[in-house]
Amino acid sequence: MNKMTGSKDGAHILVIPYQAPGHMLPLLDLTHQLAKRGLTITILVTPKILPQLQPLLSVHPSIQALVIPFPPHPTIPDGVEDMKELPVFMVPELLTAMSEFYNPVLRWFQANPSPPVAILTDFFHSTWSQSLASHLGIRRIGFAPINSGGLIETWCNLGRVTEEYLPDSMAHSILANVRSWGFILSSFTELERENLEQLRKMMGHDRVWAVGPLLPIEHSKVGLNERGGSNSVPANEVLAWLDSCRADKSVLLVDQLGAAIRVCDGMSSVPDSVKLAHALADSVSGNASEKAEALKLRERALNATKEGGSSALALDELVKELSTK
């Protein structure tokens, strides 16, 4: 396998991100790993999003950008091209607008003398990209920036919702992802081996790759705090979401793994600053079992990404599969 960075000898794939930082950044980090392994890559972006590719393009000049104007939508203001500038309830509108990429991308494929052999898309773009791949007779691979446990829970919860609350578009999206040729997750085998096996059974094949944790591009001149621009979700909203996980009896993965110390159960029980400071100090000092488990988890995650690790091997296997006609 050719692992020379920037090689143009490998199989050609088209990458289609969902234009929101929490989705796009890990997909670009995955693209970096695939480029390191010799794939030829084109990335679909809109003009306003193009600058966000600069850290990747500076490391891999051979990666091409397919720049297509953002499709107009009656409820999306002119000049808005990603979720950073929209309220979260407008996710369906952004997806509807981006589904209009179908025909421009189809024309690009038809005019390309060396078109991609596969499409790698964010799992939010499953419906139209799966139809496009089927029309072109090529493979589509879905990507989820979450772990398989979270993905399975999402799909199962949506599947239990009545048709009154589950739009056809959402049902079609789930089915399109299940029917994809392959699926990639930002997770690693040692974290959730059983969940990965369950996902493979749901999809009916073994082409499910856990390739995480996906780390930021090394040697990039852009700092971690600048990736994707400023934060679109205030810290207090993140805390509110964490509290809601307790309210609806959800269990965080770190709880399941015994790698976290809980200091309260909701905003009403937040300790005073002195007690909170002691809890934080205890969490990073001494011999607390949670600290030991967190360090073990960190080590397993880092080892997965090293040469010979589970995620590195999964990436090698994925590239080998894509390079097989």
CATH architecture for residues 12-232+308-322? 3-Layer(aba) Sandwich (3.40)
Q: What are 207's two structure tokens?
A: 């082409």
What is the pLDDT, as a whole number, of residue 252? 52
What is the pLDDT, as a whole number, of residue 278? 74
What is the pLDDT, as a whole number, of residue 38? 95
Per residue in 64-91, pLDDT (tens digit) is 999 999 999 999 999 999 999 999 889 9
pTM for the full predicted model: 0.79
Using CA atoms, how far apart are residues 18 and 247, in angstroms rounded to an integer? 30
Please give the average pLDDT of every successive group of 10 residues along the chain, which has 325 residues: 48 96 95 96 97 93 96 95 92 93 98 96 94 97 91 71 51 84 95 93 94 82 52 58 53 56 65 72 66 80 94 97 86
**Nearest CA among 72, 24, 22 for reference residue 44:** 24
Per residue in 267-315, pLDDT (tens digit) is 666 667 777 777 767 666 656 676 677 778 889 999 999 999 999 999 9
Using CA atoms, how far apart are residues 10 and 21, in angstroms rounded to an integer? 28
Return the domain boundaries, the chain.
Answer: 12-232+308-322, 235-285
How far does Cα 142 stand from its chain's mean position?
A: 9
Paired sense of beta strands 208-210 and 64-67, if any: unpaired
What is the pLDDT, as a whole number, of residue 3? 38
